[in-house]
Amino acid sequence: MVKAPKGYRHRTRKLLTKGVRERGAVPKASVLFYPYKVGDKVTVRIDPSFHKGMPHRRYHGLTGTIVGVRGRAYVVSVPIGKSTVKTIITYAAHLRPLKA
């Protein structure tokens, strides 16, 4: 019996895959250079082709608030559950502005 893998991207076969026509595509410049400001609401949407600054899969699809900037990365505060708030540091390739 083989043990299940415990890597950073385990159990992400469907979650971290692109569509057939999107494979190998680098994120658009409009996504990479979007001018996020402190206080903006964002959605964490992991881009599997961009490995640097990739947040953990548990944050994929969650909505957070930009708290700060660290070089090219953004500090995002993500509420999980009713009272827990996590802080993640990720690149702009894995963020999308909230459409609300």
Q: Is the pLDDT of residue 5 over 90?
A: no
Which residue ranges make up each domain of the chain?
25-97
The reported pLDDT for the residue numbered 50 is: 86
Q: Is the pLDDT of residue 39 over 80?
A: yes
- The 10s digit of each residue's pLDDT in 72-90 is 999 999 999 889 999 999 9
Q: What is the rounded CA–CA span in Å between residue 43 and residue 49?
A: 18
**CATH code assigned to 25-97:** 2.30.30.70
Q: How confident is the model at residue 31 (pLDDT cuts 50, 70, 90)?
A: confident
Q: What is the rounded CA–CA span in Å between residue 83 and residue 46?
A: 24
66, 37 in Cβ contact below 8 A?
Answer: yes
The reported pLDDT for the residue numbered 37 is: 95
Average pLDDT over every residue of 44-66 = 93
